[in-house]
Amino acid sequence: MRLSRATLSRVAPTARPLAEPRLTGVVHLGIGAFHRAHQAVYTERAMAETGDDRWGICGASQRSTDVADRLRPQDCLYGVRTGDEVRVVGSVRDVLAPGDDLAARLAAPETAVVTLTITEKAYRRDPRPGAIGRLVAGLRARAAADAGPLTVVSCDNLPDNGATLAGLVTELCEPPLLQWVEENVRFPATMVDRIVPATTQADLDDMAARLGVTDLGAVVTEPFTQWVIEDSFAGDRPAWDKAGALLVGDVRPYERMKLRLLNGSHSAIAYLSGAAHVSGAVDDPAFAGFLRRLMDDDLSPTLDGLDGFDLAGYKESLLTRFANPGLRHRVAQIAVDGSQKLPQRLLDPARDRLAGGHEPRWIALAVGGWMRHVTTSRELDDPLADRLRGDGTGSAAATVNRLLAIEEIFGADLREHRVFRELVTDCLERLNADGVAATLRALDAGRP
């Protein structure tokens, strides 16, 4: 029997939704597992805390009908498992499939907020036919309908994600629409943090056993969750701060911390560990030690603006989260689209260290691991895959020279930086000749 409002009585009272929205005040682009375990949970808690039931969510899938097919027959209900705790979330009211009229939703007067989780690559490829193009079409319809101000909230892992999104949107706006956007739309920056692995069939089977009904929209996540939002809204919004979100004047220090420490460490795991799951990588004391050195020696010194924040405690919490075997966070999932993720996670901190006269050896090792990955993987999931692949016959120096020349990833500065080039070449040579374990031992022995 499938989860739905008709079968909700079969679910334990403690696992039922906290709130039942009356209106749809939020439209979300990219309604994948992360959104369902993060922003949708915050939004439901905000409604439960305040009794304000205007903030139901209309999700919009960008490329596939899969989420719509899973959630629509369930009245858009789905379960979230956090450790041993399971609860059905009811904040999603509708899911649009590709081809449905998203513009009409964005033009509806009751819509006050748009949120996005469309992945990093959606901001770097031609935005016109994708989610950003659809967003602009919706803004055009909203302006024509005189439907009022709108706040558009990027929740993707990008530096200055609000400003980045605003820039792409305004590039696609004709002058009358551009003026309307400047007067009526805000693009606050955010930082989001929660590990949400891809749901497996075993997860779905476990959820069915726990709920007593079949749930094809279930997601699994960790206890830790964080959402930092720039306090810049065009109009009304859900009381996310009542649900645990932090509203601040400047998101950038938190954003940089998360992108570099959590996401940078994830990328290092993806391209060096050889483990199937993140927890398997940190089970190896030597590899866990490498992650500590990466965070302590190369990444933490690039962070500022976190006065009063327990940075050491945050790093310890990351290692604890990584070690959680219940998440089964697949390393292959993290490795996808590396060319789009590497610049903000590892290359920007490398620039900071180099500018201070330091050698980012641990970052260079992770970059060398990525280079080995993209040139040897049989199935490479990356928008630049055709330019990244190699035939495996060139020297480490030739590989480094070829890949550093891809300016979209490394810019002109790192390509020309002698120290960075030498560090990465040395690491790639060691990895090719000796493997990860021996390379870690050798680099650790050479620490000053």
What does the pLDDT read at residue 392?
Answer: 65
CA distance 44 to 14: 15
Kindly write down the DSSP assignment for every residue of 23-71, as one continuous string.
SEEEEEE---HHHHHTHHHHHHHHHHHH-----EEEEE-SS-SHHHHHH
Look up residue 217 and give its two tokens: 């929209």
| Helix 418-445, helix 285-293: angle, nearest 10 | 140
* Cβ-based neighbours of 284, under 8 Å, separated by 6 or more: 273, 275
Each residue's pLDDT tens digit in the chain (448 positions)? 999 999 999 999 999 999 999 999 999 999 999 999 999 999 999 999 999 999 999 999 988 999 999 999 999 999 999 989 999 999 999 999 999 999 999 999 999 999 999 998 899 767 777 899 999 999 999 999 999 999 999 999 988 999 999 999 999 999 999 999 999 999 999 999 999 999 999 999 999 999 999 999 999 999 999 999 999 999 999 999 999 999 999 999 999 999 999 999 999 999 999 999 999 999 999 999 999 999 999 999 999 988 888 999 999 999 999 999 988 899 999 999 999 999 999 999 999 999 999 999 999 999 999 999 999 998 899 999 999 997 767 899 999 999 999 999 999 999 999 999 999 999 999 999 999 999 999 998 876 5
What does the pLDDT read at residue 14?
Answer: 97
The three state secondary structure string of 290-336 is: HHHHHHHHHHHHHCCCCCCCCHHHHHHHHHHHHCCCCCCCEHHHHHC
Output the CA angle 203-207-213, nearest 5 degrees: 140
Look up residue 44 and give its two tokens: 């439901």
Give whole-number Cα distances, 262 to 128, 248, 254, 293, 298, in Å: 31, 21, 11, 13, 13
Residue 150, helix vs strand vs coil: strand
CA distance 5 to 203: 21
The alpha carbon of 256 is separated from its chain's Cα centroid by a whole number of angstroms, namely 13
What does the pLDDT read at residue 328?
Answer: 87
What does the pLDDT read at residue 307?
Answer: 85
Kindly write down the DSSP assignment for every residue of 362-430, as one continuous string.
HHHHHHHHHHHHHHH-SS---TTHHHH---S-S-HHHHHHHHHT-HHHHHHHHHH-HHHHHHHHHHHHH
Q: 84: exposed, middle or buried (C-beta count within 10 Å: 0-12, 13-18, 19+)?
A: exposed
Residue with tokens 């009381």: 239
What does the pLDDT read at residue 125?
Answer: 67
Contact 310, 272 (CB under 8 A): no
* Cβ-based neighbours of 147, under 8 Å, separated by 6 or more: 107, 108, 109, 111
Look up residue 256 and give its two tokens: 């940089």
Give whole-number Cα distances, 71 to 92, 96, 195, 212, in Å: 9, 10, 21, 17
What does the pLDDT read at residue 447?
Answer: 64
Contact 215, 74 (CB under 8 A): yes
What does the pLDDT read at residue 62?
Answer: 83
* Cβ-based neighbours of 216, under 8 Å, separated by 6 or more: 2, 70, 73, 74, 204
What does the pLDDT read at residue 406?
Answer: 97
What does the pLDDT read at residue 308?
Answer: 86
Contact 204, 12 (CB under 8 A): no
Contact 325, 226 (CB under 8 A): no
* Cβ-based neighbours of 183, under 8 Å, separated by 6 or more: none
Look up residue 151 and give its two tokens: 């706040």
Residue 337: name the closest of 365, 373, 361 by CA: 373
